[in-house]
């Protein structure tokens, strides 16, 4: 049973550039959430996708956008990168109608902005 | 506002018992979750309390008091592999505390 996968593992970008991160949910899951985790901090909720629509959004600027595909996989896009966007980006999947408190996280993408 | 407070670091001896406390403040509360994250790894779900009281899962137990807006994670028979960061969180969506870094020493 495949768990949550994310790509790439690591990424280095320059300020002002744009980045796209990818996530495949755990088999059988239909909901994908994205989190940003700064060093030494807890994950912060960015947004959640279900049925190819953004359902909930955290306190993140419009530079952060996403997409969900018919196969439930998802992308996170960040435009006009800032140094402060350097973090671990985590994708988590769950099943709509399932336990809202239990999410399955991927290993994350480590983004460094220079 | 919404917030969760937990100690930043805890150190305990192998084989001992450790308690990680969490206090929260939120207008809407369904229950308290606990996640474990090893260095370089993904957060993994440990337990969830929707109602007051103690939930036990093997060596780990979690407690919730809604009236006190307080919960804790209890780890028994500590092992070196328990060295990790532990996060309390409420939902939905999941809002995490800053985490408690647990170091288990011999």
pLDDT per position as a tens digit, A37-58: 999 999 999 999 999 999 999 9
What percent of chain A is modeled with pLDDT above 90?
A: 92
Q: Is the pLDDT of residue B14 over 80?
A: yes
Q: What is the pLDDT of residue B67?
A: 94
pLDDT at B28 (0 to 100):
80
pLDDT tier at A1 (50, 70, 90 boundaries)? low
Closest B-chain CA to A107: B42
User: How confident is the model at residue B1, as a pLDDT?
Assistant: 67
Nearest-by-Cβ selection for A100 from B92, B97, B99: B92
Question: Could you report the per-residue pLDDT of A60-103, keeping only the tens digit for each?
Answer: 999 999 999 999 999 999 999 999 999 999 999 999 888 888 89
pLDDT at res. B91: 81
Is the pLDDT at B24 greater than 70, yes or no?
Answer: yes
Distance from the A96 Cα atom to the nearest Cα atom in chain B, whole angstroms = 12
Residue B29 — pLDDT band, cuts 50, 70, 90? Answer: confident
The 10 Å CB-count burial string (b at 16+, else e) for B44-56 is ebbbbbeeeeebe
For B42, name the nearest residue in chain A, comparing CA atoms only.
A107
B96 Cβ under 8 Å from any chain A Cβ: yes
Q: SS3 for A34? A: strand
The C-alpha atoms of residue B80 and residue B70 are separated, in whole angstroms, by 27
């Amino acid at each position: 049973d495949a768990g949550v996968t994310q790509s790439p593992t690591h990424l280095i970008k320059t300020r002002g550039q744009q980045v796209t991160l990818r996530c495949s949910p755990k088999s059988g899951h239909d909901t994908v959430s994205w989190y940003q985790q700064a060093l030494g901090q807890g994950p912060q909720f960015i947004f959640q996708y279900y049925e190819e629509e953004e359902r909930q959004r955290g306190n993140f600027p419009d530079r952060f956008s996403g997409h969900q595909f018919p196969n439930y996989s998802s992308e996170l896009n960040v435009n006009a990168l800032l140094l402060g966007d350097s973090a671990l980006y985590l994708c988590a999947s769950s099943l709509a109608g399932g336990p809202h408190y239990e999410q399955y996280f991927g290993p994350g993408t480590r983004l460094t902005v220079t | 506002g919404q917030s969760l407070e937990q100690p930043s670091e805890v150190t305990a001896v192998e084989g001992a018992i450790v308690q990680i406390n969490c206090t929260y403040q939120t207008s809407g509360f369904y229950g308290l979750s606990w996640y474990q994250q090893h260095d370089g790894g993904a957060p993994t779900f440990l337990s969830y309390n929707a109602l007051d009281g103690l939930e036990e899962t093997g060596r780990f137990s979690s407690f919730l008091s809604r009236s006190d807006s307080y919960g804790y994670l209890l780890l028994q028979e500590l092992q070196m592999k328990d060295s990790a960061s532990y996060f309390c969180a409420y939902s939905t969506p999941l809002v995490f505390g800053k985490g408690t870094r647990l170091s288990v020493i011999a």
